[in-house]
Homo-oligomer: A and B are copies of this chain.
């Protein structure tokens, strides 16, 4: 339920206005160099702290409770906790019985019979602190194999980059306050976000991800296919409503003779597949697109209901991103890392030769 992964199990906990959020990463092999500074940097990336993200200020300082000894992983569960500091629960007192539109309030209430209404409780995007921490730890493992996951934003609302995917600029995105992949649209994207914010509204966004350094063989047939796992991971991020792999929807409009990637001279001549054939990585770059709906929390007056069945009008308080997809791109990145680390471990026992290499040499 709150655990993700098969061989590398990532479990998260914590509520938006509770004591802390955190995670336990179980199954990480022993002997991986643990880089606490990198972990903190990744959390800082997610933190935002500019006009394009939430005004909530958290130091988001990660504390590693276990699983690391003398700077190496021990093979035991790595628990990471981030204490909440800047929760302003009073913002929510007026809404404790009200279902905020497009939020989980309504469904949590009906499923559980009660709910922590402060900041959305468990359903808050604050939980993504845990995901990003988990992704960072996985990156430490992936680095050992030169697998690199990069993500950025290529669309905000109706604006969309016209660049060819190969031209997306991940270096630029790293420096951009909005992780923008197309420098020529940076200002337009920003204007669109600020415009929504100014009109007490929010706006959607589109995120592109590329993984380089992929090895062949990641993904298990049939219900742990790499694409299946990625879709699971990405669609489970708050506010995500669509996932495309490789050509995505466009593939459904093509003929086989156009879409088939030809293999010649030991190279694929194209990558319509996005790096996955039959659910297993073919060594080409992974190519993924993830689409975020606009942040549900907007500051206009909206109609809704309360838990007693009364119609109400509400004007939200609280502190929210005007475009949840911006920081969402950091979460996308983390989830892809979690998937790939899991695949790397699972694949280790795919055939007898692999096993013989391990045990005979041991």
**Complex interface: chain B residues within 8 A of A67 (CB):** 13, 15
Query: A13 contacts B66, CB within 8 Å?
Result: yes
Cβ of A162 to closest chain B Cβ, rounded Å: 15
- The secondary structure that dominates the A interface is mixed
* Residue A55 is within 8 A (CB to CB) of chain B in the complex: no
Query: B110 contacts A216, CB within 8 Å?
Result: yes
Give the residue of B114, B220, B252 whose beta carbon is less than 8 angstroms from that of A155.
Answer: B252
Q: A113, A233, A278, A298 — which one has the most chain B CB atoms within 10 A of its CB?
A: A278
Complex Cα distance A158/B201, Å? Answer: 35
Q: How many copies does the complex hold?
A: 4
* Residue A21 is within 8 A (CB to CB) of chain B in the complex: yes
Contact string, A220-251, partner B, CB cutoff 8 A, digits 1/0? 11111101111111111010111111111101
Cβ of A39 to closest chain B Cβ, rounded Å: 15
Complex Cα distance A241/B345, Å? Answer: 25
Contact string, A337-356, partner B, CB cutoff 8 A, digits 1/0? 00000001111111111111
Binds B, one of A42-50, A69-77, A171-179, A181-189: A69-77
Query: A235 contacts B230, CB within 8 Å?
Result: yes
Identify 6 residue pairs between A and B in the complex whose beta-carbon atoms are under 8 Å apart, listed by A's number: A31-B351, A107-B277, A111-B351, A206-B249, A251-B291, A264-B311
The 8 residue pairs across chains A and B that have the minimum distance between CB atoms: A104-B278, A228-B236, A231-B235, A232-B232, A30-B112, A202-B256, A107-B280, A204-B252
In addition to A11-B77, A13-B26, A259-B294, 19 A-B residue pairs with Cβ atoms within 8 Å of each other are A1-B9, A3-B3, A4-B223, A15-B76, A18-B66, A18-B69, A19-B64, A29-B349, A29-B354, A69-B116, A101-B260, A113-B352, A155-B253, A196-B256, A201-B255, A206-B252, A232-B235, A244-B249, A251-B294
